Amino acid sequence: AQKVTQAQTEISVVEKEDVTLDCVYETRDTTYYLFWYKQPPSGELVFLIRRNSFDEQNEISGRYSWNFQKSTSSFNFTITASQVVDSAVYFCALSEPLRGAQKLVFGQGTRLTINP
Amino acid sequence: DTAVSQTPKYLVTQMGNDKSIKCEQNLGHDTMYWYKQDSKKFLKIMFSYNNKELIINETVPNRFSPKSPDKAHLNLHINSLELGDSAVYFCASSLRTGVSNRIEAFFGQGTRLTVV
């Protein structure tokens, strides 16, 4: 069965610090997708990034970067120079394509608090 | 605005009542989903439809019945509401795998259901 573990339940840092959110996954599938979503205090779920299992390139988008390592089944997320607006719950998710649909299995989420 | 929109945003109702949550997307996606987020923020898939066909049906009580009149709409009807049904319900949509590499799911703003 697929499983996603976000071992850090809560993280609190001071603004401008760098912070890394860990994500470890388990799957027997050779083709799968990994995602990160952000849930700010307003409650909506915001898509951040998708990674295919066959593409291990790391990605950088502004202050956000993602490190995908199949050897350790990890897909970690780093925020550089954090800002108060980054405060949210962040979810890592794994999906298995199922007849065209994406069955997302979410981690427990990491609540990130950026203090001014 | 292009988005996934669901109504209502808040729903307070008494035990035993029947209620519906509506969802519509104008992203041109062909696959839609319902997810449930419990009080501990844990997200779990309930259903998925592709072009009006039921694709994913997780272990959900029969009191929950999804209905998809067309590929842009997926409604959730809940009969005989129970206290344990209180949660945030998210609708989402995506493109079917194989149609595009951009298969990430986009979520609605959520419906907070409170059963009293």
pLDDT tens digit string along B46-100? 999 988 889 989 888 999 999 999 989 999 999 999 999 999 999 999 988 776 6
First to last CA, chain A: 41
* Greatest extent of chain B over all pairs of C-alpha atoms, in Å: 44
The list of chain A residues with pLDDT below 50 reads none
Q: What integer pLDDT is reported at residue A24 of this predicted model?
A: 98
Q: Do A101 and B97 count as a contact with CB atoms less than 8 A apart?
A: yes
Q: Is A102 on the interface with B (CB under 8 A)?
A: yes
Q: What integer pLDDT is reported at residue B99 of this predicted model?
A: 65
- Three-state DSSP class for residue B35: strand
Residue A26, token pair as written in the block: 């388990």
Nearest-10 Cα torsion for B7, B9, B15, B20: 10
Q: Which residues of A touch B102 (CB under 8 A)?
A: 50
Q: How far apart are CA B59 and CA B98, in angstroms?
A: 27
Q: What integer pLDDT is reported at residue B102 of this predicted model?
A: 76
